Amino acid sequence: MINFKELSNKELAQINKSLNYFGGLIFDTLIKSNIFLINTKIKKEIFLIPKNNYEIFLKFKNYRVPYYLGIYFGDLKNESLFFSLNSLQVINNLTTKKIMVNKQGELKFIYGKNLQKKHIIKIFSNFNPLDKMIIINNKNEVLGLGKTIYPINIKFNNNIKIKNIIDIGWYLRKGN
Amino acid sequence: MVARYLKLFGLEETYELLEANERKIKKSIRVNSFNIKPHKLIKRMEENGFEFSKIEWDKNGFYIDKEPYSIGATSEYLQGYYYIQKAASMIPVNILDISQNDIVLDMCAAPGGKLIQAADIMNNNGCIIGIEYDKDRIKSLRSNISRCGIKNAILFRMDAAKFPEFNYKVDKILLDAPCTGEGLIPFDTSRKKSRSFEDIITCSSIQIKLLNAAIESVKIGGIIVYSTCSIAPEENELVINNFLNKGKIEILDTGLKWGKSGIINVFGNAISEDLLKAKRFYPHKNGTQGFFVCKLKVVN
């Protein structure tokens, strides 16, 4: 059984810090109408739940613990947030930490493969080695999360290798 | 099974039903319109070689007429733009009269088609409480609602018959009850022999228990839509008839112009004529799986 509870200030600060990398206002925007909950049964799973649903959750809490609620936002590990596919969709339009790929890159990435320069069609920010970025297709749809091996310049003049951290192909490979 | 069909439908219709059970039924999808406009999705998919035609009773539902590769492996599927759902299975949510801020209980929620459809109609607002007992099926439910970006659901892994213990009343209830799946023979011909009369009786007792729990869990005046993918009256009309005499529920018109009326003469025994308001779907009449649906209002 999963145990859900509200996050401590320390845990909230860790999430704020992780979100801050993608954009300074994301955390505040999210907590205006939602609440973060944590389930610590096996690992520290973070869920984002609309405030009205949180009130309903409280009514059930003493009878039975939910299996799942709101959206799964990621895992808290080593004091930082490991983003879920749902959380990437939530923050996609609030960040410039992303890279757009062509059709070939899209197919490669959703099959769990890494990306190279020939797959990239637009870079929205500069990135340092090991920086993470949301990978999107040419329709601004989230494909997953990547991590760069080399520095990436917005002017596009570097060697590029982006490692696949998580991608939407997961729903087919492991989801069902 | 055939002997039962002969008693229920007569020779000619039984023949038509058995023949239709041997034919393939069109696959279908339902577009999650809170993620993408249906016409946009259809255009994208048609550019990739898919062809679709409209399902009459759901504005976001489409039959797949041409499937060049698996409909469950497209990037649009991974984006959560649609759910692969049987056409008749789209009916219960459509007749539930859901409003955006309702609290809806889906008593047998996995694998999630009806829950996702309800969330779509609610535009991801309100709240859907989804119940599923089976450990593997609830995992699949979680994955499906994550893929489709549903955020207004709370899932419990439990026996839905115990929901009244929460002492919490909801606005609307979907009860797509576990059943023998007799209506699914066109999709799985092994069901012709794998289900016995004892299975019908077992399912029927579970269905009565679940409907009783549903009646206890909805507000007075609240709506329950009961459905199964079985065509056995013991799992459908007789389950509901059991509660009509107690004065707790009344049957409402579904408003559907499709489907046949419910059966009110079950193997020679007359039951409430109100059950004519229930609807039955058949492969030989509607081109769908065998399906039963009935809309109920809790009055007392």
**Of A101, A76, A83, the residue nearest A26 (C-alpha):** A83
Q: Do B154 and A68 touch (CB under 8 A)?
A: yes
Task: List chain B residues with CB under 8 Å of A134.
Answer: none
Could you tell me the two tokens for B182? 């007799």
Active site residues of B: 229
> For chain B, what is the HEC assignment?
CHHHHHHHHHHHHHHHHHHHHCCCCCCEEEECCCCCCHHHHHHHHHHCCCEEEECCCCCCEEEEEECCCCHHHCHHHHCCCEEECCHHHHHHHHCCCCCCCCEEEECCCCCCHHHHHHHHHCCCCCEEEEEECCHHHHHHHHHHHHHCCCCCEEEEECCHHHHHHHCCCEEEEEEECCCCCHHHCCCCCCHHHHCCHHHHHHHHHHHHHHHHHHHHHEEEEEEEEEEECCCCHHHCHHHHHHHHCCCCEEEECCCCCCCEECCCEECCEECCHHHHHCEEECHHHHCCCCEEEEEEEECC
Q: Is the same domain home to B42 and B179?
A: no
pTM of the model: 0.95
Summarize pLDDT for B57-92 with one digit per residue, the tens: 999 999 999 999 999 999 999 999 999 999 999 999
pLDDT band per the 50, 70, 90 thresholds, residue B2: confident
* CA pair distance A57, B73, nearest whole angstrom: 34
- Identify the domain boundary among B61, B85, B109: B85
Q: Is the same domain home to B33 and B175?
A: no
pLDDT score of A2: 52
Q: Is the same domain home to B55 and B157?
A: no
Task: List chain A residues with CB under 8 Å of B150.
Answer: 71
Q: Is the same domain home to B32 and B174?
A: no
Q: Do B165 and A71 touch (CB under 8 A)?
A: no
Distance of residue A149 Cα from the nearest chain B Cα, in angstroms: 26
Please state which of the ranges A47-56, B88-97, B102-111, B179-188 shows the lowest mean pLDDT: B179-188
Q: Do B75 and A168 touch (CB under 8 A)?
A: yes
Q: Is the same domain home to B43 and B20?
A: no
Q: Measured between CB atoms, does A166 come within 8 Å of chain B?
A: no
Q: Which of B75, B103, B144 sits opposite A56 (nearest CB)?
A: B103
pLDDT score of B191: 76
What is the CATH classification number for the domain harbouring B204? 3.40.50.150
Residues in chain A where the model's pLDDT stays below 50: none
Angle of the B135-147 helix axis to the B113-121 helix axis, nearest 10: 30
pLDDT band per the 50, 70, 90 thresholds, residue B182: confident
Longest Cα–Cα distance of chain B, Å, equals: 56
Whether the per-residue pLDDT at B194 is higher than 80: the answer is no
- Identify the domain boundary among B85, B103, B132: B85
- Which amino acid, one-letter code, is at B203? C
Domain hosting B39: range is 26-85
Q: Is the same domain home to B57 and B111?
A: no
In DSSP terms, A47 is beta-bridged to A37, A72
pLDDT score of A154: 84
Share of chain B above pLDDT 70, in %: 100
DSSP, res A78: T
Share of chain B above pLDDT 90, in %: 90
Q: Do B146 and A64 touch (CB under 8 A)?
A: no
Q: Do B149 and A70 touch (CB under 8 A)?
A: no
Domains of chain A (ranges; CATH) run 4-91 (3.10.450), 96-175 (2.30.130.10)
Strands B127-132 and B153-157, bridge-based pairing: parallel
Please tell me the total count of domains within chain B.
2
Task: List chain B residues with CB under 8 Å of A91.
Answer: none
Q: Is the same domain home to B64 and B161?
A: no
Could you tell me the two tokens for B175? 């009860």
pLDDT score of A176: 62
Q: Tell me the average pLDDT across B244-253.
A: 94
Q: Measured between CB atoms, does A80 come within 8 Å of chain B?
A: no
Q: Is the same domain home to B118 and B65?
A: no
Could you tell me the two tokens for B31? 């577009």
Q: Is the same domain home to B116 and B217?
A: yes
Percentages helix, strand, coil for chain A, rounded to the nearest 5?
35, 35, 30
Could you tell me the two tokens for B120? 């779509």
**Of A18, A16, A14, A86, the residue nearest A49 (C-alpha):** A86
Q: Tell me the average pLDDT across B222-229.
A: 98
Q: Measured between CB atoms, does A18 come within 8 Å of chain B?
A: no
What is the CATH classification number for the domain harbouring B37? 3.30.70.1170
pLDDT score of A159: 87
Q: Is the same domain home to B170 and B65?
A: no
* CA pair distance B82, B14, nearest whole angstrom: 35
Contact by Cβ (8 Å): B93, B174? yes
For residue A51, give Cα distances in angstroms to A7, A34, A72, B126, B190: 15, 5, 15, 11, 47
Q: Tell me the average pLDDT across B249-271.
A: 96
pLDDT score of B266: 93
pLDDT score of B274: 97
**Of B66, B112, B122, B107, the residue nearest B209 (C-alpha):** B107
Q: Tell me the average pLDDT across B186-210.
A: 87
| ipTM (interface predicted TM) | 0.93
Contact by Cβ (8 Å): B31, B77? no
* CA pair distance B197, B57, nearest whole angstrom: 32
Q: Measured between CB atoms, does A63 come within 8 Å of chain B?
A: yes
Whether the per-residue pLDDT at B184 is higher than 90: the answer is no
- Identify the domain boundary among B85, B112, B131: B85
Q: Is the same domain home to B146 and B93?
A: yes
Q: Is the same domain home to B70 and B104?
A: no
